[in-house]
């Protein structure tokens, strides 16, 4: 069943909160690196955003107008990249003292790109 326009709009308005959860994810990842503690990486389908996105939005992708489809596909791609990049950080590696600055910047840019994508289309 397709999400209504109101439901989709509601999802997009929640993105700020969902993006903040990903910033928090990065902070916890950084703390784990500093403490050399095990960090449980989440797959893109397992975070709160992923659970919502893949249960309510993605299954009905083909029911949306083309411009909305493009936004949804871009969001999905950026979100997957974020989790893939984060999962490559090994918190137990002794040579890594903190999240590599380049990786952290790229991850943050991915988050802002998600926000930009949604703000342009709601």
Residue 96 has φ and ψ, to the nearest 5°, of -95, 115
Reported as a single tens digit per residue, the pLDDT across 4-47 is 677 667 766 777 787 788 888 888 888 887 788 888 889 999 98
Whether pLDDT at 58 is above 80: yes
Q: Where are the domains of the chain?
A: 5-121
Mapping DSSP onto H, E and C, the string for 61-109 reads HHHCCHHHHHHHHHHHHHHHHHHHHHHCCCCCCCCCCCCCHHHHHHHHH
- The Cα-based distances of 33 to 17, 92, 93, 96, 106 in angstroms read 25, 7, 8, 7, 18
What 3-state DSSP class applies to 38? coil
The CA distance from 24 to 108, in Å, is 11
Reported as a single tens digit per residue, the pLDDT across 79-88 is 898 888 888 8
The CA distance from 91 to 8, in Å, is 36
Structure confidence at residue 122 (pLDDT): 47
Reported as a single tens digit per residue, the pLDDT across 62-78 is 888 888 888 889 888 88
pTM of the model: 0.69
Kindly state the DSSP code that residue 60 receives in the 8-state scheme.
G
Report whether 62 contacts 112 (CB < 8 A): no
Structure confidence at residue 44 (pLDDT): 92
């Amino acid at each position: 069943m397709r999400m209504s326009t109101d439901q989709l709009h509601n999802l997009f308005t929640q993105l700020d909160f969902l993006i903040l959860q990903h910033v928090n994810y990065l902070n916890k990842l950084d703390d784990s690196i500093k403490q050399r503690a095990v960090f449980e990486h989440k797959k893109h389908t397992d975070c709160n955003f992923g659970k919502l996105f893949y249960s309510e939005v993605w299954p009905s992708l083909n029911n949306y107008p083309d411009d909305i489809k493009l936004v949804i596909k871009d969001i999905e791609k950026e979100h997957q990249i974020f989790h893939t990049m984060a999962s490559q950080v090994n918190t137990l590696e002794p040579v890594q003292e903190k999240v590599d600055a380049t990786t952290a910047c790229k991850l943050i840019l991915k988050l802002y790109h998600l926000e930009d994508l949604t703000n342009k289309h709601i």
